[in-house]
Amino acid sequence: MSRIGELFTRKRAEKKPVLIGYITAGDPSPERMPSLIAALERGGVDLIELGVPFSDPVADGPVIMKASERALAAGMTLAKVLDLARAVRLQSEIPLLLFSYLNPVMRYGFSKLAADAKAAGADGCLLTDLSVEEADEFVAPLREAGLDTVFLAAPTSPPERLRRVADHSSGFVYLVSRTGVTGEQSRLSASVGPLVESLRARTALPLAVGFGISTPEQARETARLADGVVVGSAFVRIVEAQGAGPGLEPALEAFARALKTGMEG
């Protein structure tokens, strides 16, 4: 079983929710990332989504959009994200999910990515703008290499699509909490409950909910429904505020801990 699968199995046995943290790789700098990830792990993040920056992030709100711009300006590339995974593996067994738009991955080559990501110690990949209809050339080589492929399920997805999303996913299914782009929100969307239920009826895979979760209270509410909670923009906003300053790691760690405490409380 993959690190991702093992994580969810273990947490399920402990009856504890999984905290998933998204950060944009390369922000504030490629070199700083291992220490950032270590801080998140100390704070209680169980799984890291490593955002591969893209020039045209249509699914992202302003916070992650600006982070992608900063990361690209700092010289981040998919190849360097794999270097980062390798560096993290020297210090940690935390599951790593690559989180990217399709074009950088297509340009790199699906088979090459599968081989290199596996060798680097990454555990899976999610491509935001890859629909299940177009996914075969991606899923086959990744699965063959023993990597997980995670797909998005949305509040707009009809039942038939939810089934196909689950069929193409391994590790877990990522539920988009609301119709919109990434970014914080003040209240958890009402569409989460029904979406979770609808997917539960179609798959035994663990379910993680993301998009817009930014406070310990929202994390707690979400954890009551799903197996995992994804927090992205709220972490990235801390990176934006702290920049390369010395307060970055302590701030990330403290916020992760607050989320984790909230979730488990």
Partner 1 sequence: MSVTKLEPDAQGHFGPYGGRYVPETLMAPLEDVERAWMQSREDSSFQAELSDLLKNFAGRPTALYEAKRLAEALGGARIFLKREDLLHTGAHKINNCLGQVLLAKRMGKRRVIAETGAGQHGVATATVCALFGMECVVYMGEEDMARQRLNVFRMRLLGARVVGVGYGSKTLKDAISEAMRDWVTNIATTHYLLGSALGAHPYPVMVRDFHRCIGEEARAQMLERTGRLPDTVFACVGGGSNAIGAFHAFLPDAQVELVGVEAGGHGIRPGEHAARFHGGAPGVLQGSRSYLLQDGDGQVLLTHSVSAGLDYAMVGPEHAWLHDQGRASYTYCEDGAALRAALQLSRTEGIIPALESAHGLAEAIRRAPGEPGKVFLVNLSGRGDKDIDIYRAVFPELDGDEPAGDTPQGGTA
Q: Site residues (CB under 8 A) for partner 1?
A: 54-59, 61, 65, 69, 72, 77-79, 101-108, 128-131, 133-134, 151-158, 161, 165, 176, 179-181
Say what the alpha-carbon torsion angle 107, 113, 115, 119 is, to the nearest 10 degrees: 130
Non-local (6+) Cβ contacts of 166 within 8 A are 153, 173, 199, 202, 203, 205
- Which amino acid belongs to residue 33? M
Smallest gap from Cβ 165 to partner 1, in A, equals 7
Q: Which is nearer to partner 1, 181 or 263 (CB)?
A: 181
Smallest gap from Cβ 151 to partner 1, in A, equals 7
Smallest gap from Cβ 108 to partner 1, in A, equals 7
Q: Which is nearer to partner 1, 63 or 256 (CB)?
A: 63
The encoded tokens of residue 52 equal: 């591969």
Q: Which is nearer to partner 1, 14 or 160 (CB)?
A: 160
Q: Which residues of 145-262 form beta strands (DSSP E)?
A: 148-150, 152-153, 173-176, 207-210, 228-231
Is the separation of the CB atoms in 148 and 97 below 8 Å?
A: yes
Active site residue 41: no
Is the separation of the CB atoms in 122 and 98 below 8 Å?
A: yes
- Which amino acid belongs to residue 3? R
Of 49, 221, 227, 253, the catalytic one is: 49
Active site residue 56: no
Q: Which is nearer to partner 1, 189 or 215 (CB)?
A: 189
Of 46, 60, 116, 227, the catalytic one is: 60
| Alpha carbon distance 205, 172 (integer Å) | 5
Smallest gap from Cβ 140 to partner 1, in A, equals 17
SS3 of 33, please?
A: helix
Smallest gap from Cβ 178 to partner 1, in A, equals 9
Q: Which is nearer to partner 1, 93 or 136 (CB)?
A: 136
Mind telling me the catalytic residues?
Answer: 49, 60
